[in-house]
Structure 1
């Protein structure tokens, strides 16, 4: 079966000022190759500065790749219209306190992607919003709420609903658990797993906590200094890591790890 996402020799470089009249090139990541199968979860892990954020922002279209190719369902991503791209790949940002507009209601937050990217009429959009709210475990009453009226977990549920409103094939989740305490993290993780079972959504999941990564992911890819140093099935990576950086990440979050 053809993967939903295929990445070939992808790289991203930035120009950085180096003195008054000169600059130098900084490579955020380079030579990255991987695939994502339908209905599976790929976790991308690595220390701060490893290139994770630049990579997922390039996949989401927020950054332009310096070189390499991205294919969605076998098609070069550059051949897709903005609407096709939005209905294929969506992103959940790290902190909903910043990514949700506090001045508009939940209903308007969820309606905006539908207005911009679909031909649905008002009634059809409303029905889609209600179905998506139900999917993430929220009642229709929340449509009239503003983000500041919600608990932290409810804000995450709205952020997930906004990502799922167009029924995308791929969701990129960028450190979405970082602002939650441990008990609430598993609530959101279990919600994402439930959505995947219902919708068959593929996830790219970026996180630091290896215990949560092991729980939610099928495969793990480890980035270090912009390069992939290790990738494979989650159990294999966690039980038998080959690279010292992977062992360090496991040791940081799993005190009993001694390999």
Structure 2
């Protein structure tokens, strides 16, 4: 049986000006290869500029890979229709304040993916929206709210609800906790873990904070200058890191780390 997600030799480079009439290739990441199974969480960590966000945006289809392949349940991602991709992969962006349309109510924000990607009628869509709000810990009263009426954590809950509304196999989360203080970060992480327990959703989670990574991930992949320098189970990486960059990341977020 094929893996839920298989990434093989994925690379991404950009052209950058290097002179008045010349350009050069800048490698964002690659080659990157990994697999993820149903119900697993893969954390991608590394310093700023290591290629983490570019990688998840490529998997989400926001960026086009320079080379390499992505497979969903054994099917090449490029062979899937836009609707099939949305039903398989959904992304939560870093800042919900900028990713939620300020002119749409929560109800309309959650209804849009259902209208575009399913054949549900209005009653079925309404039921699914209320069910999804409940899943993320919000009451139906919030359907009439606009994003500017929500607190920071409520915006995150709506962003998660928008991602979950189609019951995707995989959620890609690109540093979604950076705008929250530490107590609210753990609230959102625990919400994601509860959703995973209920729905069996897989996550690819980009983060800096190793405390959060250790709390929610099954596997860790460490990127440095676009290359995978270490990957393995969360327990192995955290207890016995092999690379200096990994040790540095752990030391930065674990003051009592002694290894």
Match of 2:101 in 1: 101
SS in 1 for 2:28: strand
Match of 1:89 in 2: 89
Root mean square deviation, CA, Å: 0.6
Q: Please list the CA deviations of residues 132-154 of structure 1 after superposition, one character each: whole Å capped at 9, or x if unmatched.
A: 00100100000000011011111
Is 2:59 the partner of 1:59? yes
Q: 1:196 touches 1:202 (CA, 8 Å); kept in 2?
A: yes
Displacement of 1:2 after TM fit?
Answer: 2.8
Describe how 1:69-148 pairs up with structure 2 within 5 A: 69-148=69-148
SS in 1 for 2:172: strand
Q: 1:2 touches 1:37 (CA, 8 Å); kept in 2?
A: no
Q: Write the distance in 1 (CA, Å) between the matches of 2:64 and 2:182.
A: 35
Q: Please list the CA deviations of residues 146-177 of structure 1 after superposition, one character each: whole Å capped at 9, or x if unmatched.
A: 01101111110000000000000000011111
SS in 1 for 2:180: coil
Displacement of 1:119 after TM fit?
Answer: 1.0
Q: Please list the CA deviations of residues 169-214 of structure 1 after superposition, one character each: whole Å capped at 9, or x if unmatched.
A: 0000111111110111111000000000000000000000001100
Q: Write the distance in 2 (CA, Å) between the matches of 1:17 and 1:117.
A: 40
Match of 2:227 in 1: 227
Describe how 1:110-259 pairs up with structure 2 within 5 A: 110-259=110-259
Displacement of 1:54 after TM fit?
Answer: 0.6
TM-score (norm 1): 0.99
Q: Write the distance in 2 (CA, Å) between the matches of 1:78 and 1:245.
A: 34
SS in 2 for 1:87: helix
SS in 2 for 1:258: coil
TM-score (norm 2): 0.99
Q: Please list the CA deviations of residues 207-240 of structure 1 after superposition, one character each: whole Å capped at 9, or x if unmatched.
A: 0000110000000000000000000000110010
Unpaired segments of 5 or more residues in structure 2? Answer: none
Q: Write the distance in 2 (CA, Å) between the matches of 1:213 and 1:163.
A: 20
Is 2:28 the partner of 1:28? yes
Match of 1:6 in 2: 6
Q: Please list the CA deviations of residues 86-118 of structure 1 after superposition, one character each: whole Å capped at 9, or x if unmatched.
A: 110000011111111111100000001111111
SS in 1 for 2:68: strand
Q: Write the distance in 1 (CA, Å) between the matches of 2:244 and 2:68.
A: 28
Count the aligned residue pairs: 259
Displacement of 1:258 after TM fit?
Answer: 1.7
Q: Write the distance in 2 (CA, Å) between the matches of 1:242 and 1:3.
A: 27
4+ aligned runs moved over 6 Å, structure 1: none
Q: Please list the CA deviations of residues 53-107 of structure 1 after superposition, one character each: whole Å capped at 9, or x if unmatched.
A: 1100000000000000000011000110000001100000111111111111000
